[in-house]
Amino acid sequence: MTAKVRIGVLGAGNMGSFHANTVAHRTPETVLAALADLSERAVRSLAERTEPERCSTDPEEVIEDPSIQAVVIATPGHTHADLIERAAKAGKHIFCEKPIALELPAIDEALAAVRDAGVKLQVGLQRRFDPGFVRAKEMVERGEVGDLYIVHSRTRDPEAPPLEYLRGCGGLFRDTSVHDLDVVRWLSGCEAVEVYATGEVLTDPRIAEVGDVDTAAIVLRMENGAIATVDNSRRSVYGYDVRAEVFGSKGSVEVVADRSTFVTHRSKAGVCHDHPYWYLDRFAVAYEAEIRAFARCVLEDTRPQVTGEDGRAARVLGIAAQRSRAERRP
Amino acid sequence: MTAKVRIGVLGAGNMGSFHANTVAHRTPETVLAALADLSERAVRSLAERTEPERCSTDPEEVIEDPSIQAVVIATPGHTHADLIERAAKAGKHIFCEKPIALELPAIDEALAAVRDAGVKLQVGLQRRFDPGFVRAKEMVERGEVGDLYIVHSRTRDPEAPPLEYLRGCGGLFRDTSVHDLDVVRWLSGCEAVEVYATGEVLTDPRIAEVGDVDTAAIVLRMENGAIATVDNSRRSVYGYDVRAEVFGSKGSVEVVADRSTFVTHRSKAGVCHDHPYWYLDRFAVAYEAEIRAFARCVLEDTRPQVTGEDGRAARVLGIAAQRSRAERRP
Amino acid sequence: MTAKVRIGVLGAGNMGSFHANTVAHRTPETVLAALADLSERAVRSLAERTEPERCSTDPEEVIEDPSIQAVVIATPGHTHADLIERAAKAGKHIFCEKPIALELPAIDEALAAVRDAGVKLQVGLQRRFDPGFVRAKEMVERGEVGDLYIVHSRTRDPEAPPLEYLRGCGGLFRDTSVHDLDVVRWLSGCEAVEVYATGEVLTDPRIAEVGDVDTAAIVLRMENGAIATVDNSRRSVYGYDVRAEVFGSKGSVEVVADRSTFVTHRSKAGVCHDHPYWYLDRFAVAYEAEIRAFARCVLEDTRPQVTGEDGRAARVLGIAAQRSRAERRP
Amino acid sequence: MTAKVRIGVLGAGNMGSFHANTVAHRTPETVLAALADLSERAVRSLAERTEPERCSTDPEEVIEDPSIQAVVIATPGHTHADLIERAAKAGKHIFCEKPIALELPAIDEALAAVRDAGVKLQVGLQRRFDPGFVRAKEMVERGEVGDLYIVHSRTRDPEAPPLEYLRGCGGLFRDTSVHDLDVVRWLSGCEAVEVYATGEVLTDPRIAEVGDVDTAAIVLRMENGAIATVDNSRRSVYGYDVRAEVFGSKGSVEVVADRSTFVTHRSKAGVCHDHPYWYLDRFAVAYEAEIRAFARCVLEDTRPQVTGEDGRAARVLGIAAQRSRAERRP
């Protein structure tokens, strides 16, 4: 009989729903032991599809449940740090969607709580589990790119989230670029020593009103001399455009998933194919794989592939980018 | 609580293992109630990973189990017809890997048993559940191709199966081309009125010894006048190459999945990407989707998307192709 | 000073105009010594752009001109055989657009005249000069495909030529398929031993009235056992679709030029690029290269890369395809 | 009779040879009236292939020749400004390879001389004549991209030029990036208001010795708010990688010519195609088109499509990038 991790999922929004389904139906190593969301309606609706053993509108009940070994935190971002600390204190292993917290002190407190409790914390930077990104990483590690010259990462979202979300998310550099900054660190295998960023509001003036930007570019100098560039936008009408490239002395490895199905349509309008529209189209396999990897690292007592420190490091770069833009200097 | 279909899987080979895993871990609508294979070792090994409620080395035990509503038949091809008949008599719904049987009379008997018992039979022509093929079919039905001119389907396997399998599989035209012939029927939405086929042994002389060919082309005239072509090979060193095209008065829709990950490698050797190697790389999503569709049609009492009649019709074309080759005439 | 071939161009239609421009302005080894077309207006208009030394409405004048070493025949197809014979008797080297003639006896007479006169004859099968096809041929010859299994060639024209042209062109199998049949022979390096063809009228009933088909498939068994398939259509709304593939024991080499410029457009409609519309878009480089090769083989007294025998052999296969279709047997 | 421009080509190096061939053999509107290079051997060798009316080892002789209307300057970069001034004074129209000069004062003097003489000056920024770039520009102008968000341009050379060339070329930002900076200006249709650049020596330490970098990224804020990024490298083992993208409110237009022939090779190593290796592979059509456009603007007395002011503006941005890198600030 396969050992199983009994997991409680906190949050029944987009990602919480996806993770609950993965825990319940798509991963043999997991059991959906509990589900919690402040909204009773959201819990009930999700519970119908995922059949958790228990439901609650109070995450604390899940955290305190002694039969549960691990929690998946997919609540709004500003609640993460507190939930991490409480779950850590309750001895639960933790899978947490980014961000750990908006500001460094809160991140550091959460990470300290995790360390003190000796539990595992895996952060939801799912690109590290996408088959394309995984293969690119392997190729870089096997030396197929040679010495690194240029690393590039791009994220263009199809549309901006609601203004309310924008108000609380910490800005484009912490909310979106954080994925790119993590990819740059991970694929290059080294840290940034200098960050320059520029950003503009071009898609919707209300984004300026909440103090954010919707279009940005970041340039990083890495400790091994390589140059990294990041390109972000909140509005890409053709869909969710995520890519990364590592270019070096032996060539280039690039990840670009710019089609959703393998269908090519030739007509008077030209030769066309579809494009993934949202992150769930693009990263469904990766979202499943990260939960499965989390379960295995709990079962096998190994180190998570994306640690709290990784989450923190990407966040530090996001904050540096934000400051660079504000102060107009690297 | 989601209603669930209690399924018994017969056969613990490649496809049986895949389906057992799908039934057990990847589809909320199904429960893996039982697992049977003549080899105790195979059953035990698969059971460890899929945790069926009961195991057996006798398929009859599964078929007779009154708690089970449906069976998945993934045993060697020559046993299918008999198992279908017995399962039908026991009132089980049936998902059966192709072939139903090698010869038409046996197919007809099995289909009659299914009809008499009033159970559902879905045949494992999984391309109909691949997201690319599904989208192509939708586009054809929406009229985006216009009047049909040419339909093409290709299957090139990476390597020939063992000689023992080849001896029992009924030949390339029934074993491999059957998928293409089904695709031609399904995508075009019409029947063939004339079949011409040619085939050769080019990859391994032992294939001639078992009376088969390893390379073939088939041309069909369809009842609406369209011309269909099929191209088959038992040995494609670059991997499993499956494609289909529907070309008509408004353009062309083509399904070609010629990469396994979205990674492009640029080096002195050129610009390269990987290729799916085997059918499980290429059609994992489709194999899951067909089991899920089968479960839903049991739960909702609807007609299967691929019926026994579809399996029979593709088989008839395969037999016609074989005869055309033998007699050197359409 | 580079030696130059003094060339007379016969015919001022599409291909005659293209060749006259090549001879006059794009090839250092050639001089446009004369231009002739029955239509004075066509000659005059083309002469303005290409500045030949002399113009005429009588091809005979060009053929008899002792200062001219070679002629390019781009007149309507039914005049080719006679012009070849007259040019050969006048001692001119000959570049002739396909066809040499519609029927074999006329082809044989023309080839005999060429042989008797000891002049060179190059036939306008320009795909052999396209950089992609040339590279594919080199790869096949270097053994990168290994033993041949399947050869495929496709030509889909964007729209059917005028009915008047269709009446005189000898039918789809001789007019269009001839290019594919030549590609099959050339890329495979071997001859066909059996031909099966089917064809239909699907795009325009008037094509049936002139006794032709507009959609066709051909299957050939080659002398080395390989199977070749050809797919033709007179109406491809998305543009001129020419491709070829050679598949064998070591892999596959495929030529597909399905874009006209290297621009990719991503929008709500998907990811799109353009498609070459007509043969002049697709093969401009090849049409120049074949004239240049012809000039060099005159200057260097070498054998043309596409001989009259090649033209004849492709035509024989086209006639066999036509007969196969009529008699419904290979 | 077509009017023709009598052109003298100055410089018999790579680009001089290419242009002389274009003027002599590939463009009906031009006559190669003269050829000059300091090296008698280079002149003689090129003259054999291009047959100019006269040859010289003194450019002055060509500039003073009253029968000549225009010159193509393809000599080493440091000689350009002086030759432009002398040619302008002699009343010749001028096509000049970039750079006009390394420093702004010299550029301004040369442009003043051109203005005073009332002659035409076209600068060799050939990307503006590449069919892909031209189409991208048209699409941007037709509004198919909508409001601009991000513009990207990349140039990666396959290998660094000789150290001697590097010493005199003004550095990567002026020598290579100048093409990208021109593309950014041209495609976006607006000017930059802020430039940030970073650069490193990663491929060869001798490049640091001559005070240059070999890897660089540039970020520009454009006057309409759009963000532009440039990525440059002196060493791309897979070949000459030039691309550009314009991304905006309606989608994205991207130019990427990452194959040299339309051949796809599938083998055990994967699915591969070739890559253009050098600028002459990639831009042959554009180099011909720019000379033809120059000839037409002389014949029709129109404004060149790439003016001296365009050359100057790109150079100003290159200098700004160089200063940004030196001073580590935008």
Note whether C262 contacts D252, CB cutoff 8 Å.
Answer: no
β strands within chain B, DSSP E: 5-10, 30-36, 54-56, 70-73, 93-96, 121-123, 148-156, 192-200, 215-222, 227-233, 241-248, 251-256, 263-267, 270-273
Residue D75 sits at φ, ψ, to 5 deg, of: -85, 175
Which pairing describes strands C70-73 and B251-256: parallel, antiparallel, or unpaired? unpaired
Write the CA distances from C131 to A245, A305, C122, C282, integer angstroms.
Answer: 30, 48, 18, 11
Cα C226 to Cα B115, B256, C249: the distances in Å are: 44, 24, 11
- The whole-angstrom distance between D236's CA and the closest CA on chain B is 9
Whole-number pLDDT of residue D2 = 65
List of residues 6+ apart from D11 with CB closer than 8 A:
D36, D37, D72, D73, D74, D75, D76, D97
Angle, CA A6 vertex, CA A5 and CA A8 arms, to 5°:
130
Closest CA relative to residue D171, chosen from D199, D194, D195: D199
Q: What's the confidence (pLDDT) of residue D330? A: 87
Q: What is the DSSP string of B134-173?
A: HHHHHHHHTTSS-SEEEEEEEEE-SSPPPHHHHHHS--HH
Is pLDDT above 80 for B196? yes
Structure tokens belonging to residue D275: 């890559």
d(CA A261, CA A264): 9
Q: Do A215 and D149 touch (CB under 8 A)?
A: yes
**pLDDT of C1 strictly over 60:** no
C-alpha distances (whole Å) from D241 to each of A125, B22, C257 are: 31, 45, 20
Task: Judge contact between C73 and C93, C-beta under 8 A.
Answer: no
Chain D contact residues (CB < 8 Å to B): 237-239, 241, 258-259, 265-275
pLDDT of the residue at B3: 85
pLDDT of C313 over the 70 cut: yes
User: How far away is chain A from the Cα of B269, in angstroms, using its nearest Cα?
Assistant: 10
Is residue B286's pLDDT more than 80?
yes
The chain B residue lying nearest D276, using CA atoms, is B270
Residues of chain D short of pLDDT 50, as ranges, are none
Contact A128, A98 (CB under 8 A): no
Tell me the average pLDDT across C144-154: 98
Residue of C nearest to B222 (CA): C200
Q: Give me the total of CB pairs closer than 8 Å, taking one residue from chain A and one from chain B.
A: 103
CB contact under 8 A, C270 and A237: no
Of D255, B146, B186, B256, the C-alpha closest to C238 is: B146
Nearest-CA distance from C137 to chain D in Å?
A: 10
List all residues 6 or more positions away from B125 whose beta carbon is below 8 Å from its beta carbon: B98, B178, B179, B182, B306, B310, B311, B314
Task: Determine which helix (DSSP H) or strand (DSSP E) holds C124, and give its type and residue range.
Answer: none
Cβ separation of C247 and B236 shorter than 8 Å? yes
Cα separation, C117 vs C90, in Å, equals 8
Nearest to B324 by CA among B212, B194, B224: B194
Chain D touching partners, 3 or more CB pairs below 8 A = A, B, C
Residue D266: which of C21, C25, C252 has the nearest Cβ? C252
CA distance C230 to D312: 55
Alpha-carbon gap, residue B276 to B274, rounded angstroms:
7
d(CA C304, CA C114): 13
For position A2, what pLDDT does the model report? 64
pLDDT band, very low/low/confident/very high, at B330 (cuts 50, 70, 90)? confident
Please tell me the predicted confidence (pLDDT) of residue A330. Answer: 87
DSSP B24: I
pLDDT surpasses 80 at A1: no
Chain B contact residues (CB < 8 Å to A): 1-2, 21, 24-28, 48-51, 131-132, 135-136, 139, 144, 250-258, 260-268, 274
- CB of D258 within 8 A of CB of A272? no
Q: Under an 8 A CB cutoff, do D252 and C266 touch?
A: yes
> Which residues of chain B does A255 touch, with a Cβ-Cβ cutoff of 8 Å?
262-264
- CB within 8 Å: B202 and C233: no
A266–C271 C-beta distance less than 8 A: no
- Closest partner residue to A132 (CB to CB) among B2, B257, B262 is B262
C-beta atoms of C237 and A275 within 8 A: no
For the cut 70, the answer to whether the pLDDT of residue B1 exceeds it is no
And the tokens for A110? 């959460």
Give the Cα-Cα-Cα angle C6, C9, C15 (nearest 5 degrees): 135
Q: Letter for the amino acid at C163? A: L
Contacts of A among chains (3+ CB pairs under 8 A) = B, C, D
User: Which positions in chain C have a beta carbon within 8 angstroms of at least one beta carbon in chain D?
Assistant: 1-2, 21, 24-28, 48-51, 131-132, 135-136, 139, 144, 250-258, 260-268, 274
Ramachandran area for residue B177 (φ above 0: left; ψ -120 to 50: alpha; else beta)? alpha
Q: Is the distance from CB of C226 to CB of C234 less than 8 angstroms?
A: no
Q: How many angstroms separate the CA atoms of A172 and A161, rounded?
A: 11
State the pLDDT at residue D193: 96
| Chain B residue numbers touching C135 (CB-CB < 8 A) | none
* D259 chain-B contacts, CB cut-off 8 A: 271
**Preferred mutation among C4, C140, C261, C285 to probe D, highest tally of D CBs within 10 A:** C261
Q: Looking at residue D310, what is its pLDDT? A: 96
Written as one string, the DSSP assignment of A19-32 is HHHIIIII-TTEEE
In this prediction, residue B255 carries a pLDDT of 98
Task: Work out the percent of chain A whose per-residue pLDDT is above 70.
Answer: 99
**CA gap B138, D105 in Å, rounded:** 65
Give the tens place of pLDDT for each residue, C83-124: 999 999 999 999 999 999 989 999 999 999 999 999 999 999
Instruction: Kindly state the DSSP code that residue A89 receives in the 8-state scheme.
Output: H
Contact D288, D22 (CB under 8 A): yes
Report pLDDT for A298.
97
CB C227 to CB B235 under 8 A? Answer: no
Q: Are strands D148-156 and D227-233 parallel, antiparallel or unpaired?
A: parallel
Looking at C51-91, list the stretches that DSSP marks H as alpha helix, in order from N- to C-terminal side: 59-64, 80-89
The amino acid at C136:
A
Q: Which residue of C has its CA nearest to A241?
A: C266
Give the strand pairing for B5-10 and B30-36: parallel
In contact, B325 and B199? CB cutoff 8 Å:
yes
As a whole number, mean pLDDT of residues C142-162 equals 97
Distance from the Cα of D161 to chain A's closest Cα (Å) equals: 16
- Beta strand pairing status for A227-233 and A241-248? unpaired
**CA–CA dist D232, D199 (Å, integer):** 9
The answer to whether the Cβ–Cβ distance between D196 and A200 falls below 8 Å is no
Residue in chain C closest to B239 (alpha carbons) equals C251
**Minimum CA–CA partner of A135 in chain B:** B263
Q: Which residue is listed with tokens 């096998």? A: A300
Q: Of A23, A22, A18, which is closest to residue A8 (Cα–Cα)? A: A23
Q: Locate tokens 């302008």: which residue?
A: D88
Name the token pair of A241.
């455009």
Chain B CB contacts of D258 below 8 Å: 266, 271
Report chain A residues whose CB lies below 8 A from the CB of C257: none
User: Percent of chain B at pLDDT above 90?
Assistant: 96
Residues of A in contact with C241 (CB under 8 A): 266
At C82, the pLDDT band (50, 70, 90 cuts) reads: very high
Chain B closest CA to C230's CA: distance in Å? Answer: 10
What secondary structure letter does DSSP report for D25? I
Pairwise CB contact (< 8 Å): B233 & C330: no
Residue B32's pLDDT band, with cuts at 50, 70 and 90, is very high
Across the interface, whether the CB atoms of C150 and B235 are under 8 A apart is answered no
Upstream peptide bond of A99 is cis (omega within 30 degrees of 0): yes
B105 burial class (0-12, 13-18, 19+ CB within 10 angstroms)? Answer: exposed
Q: Of A75, A79, A88, A87, whose CA–CA distance to A106 is shortest?
A: A79
What confidence category does residue C330 fall into, taking pLDDT thresholds of 50, 70 and 90? confident
pLDDT of B142 strictly over 70: yes
CB spacing of D198 vs A196 below 8 angstroms: yes
**Taking an 8 Å Cβ-Cβ cutoff, which residues of chain C contact chain A?**
237-239, 241, 258-259, 265-275
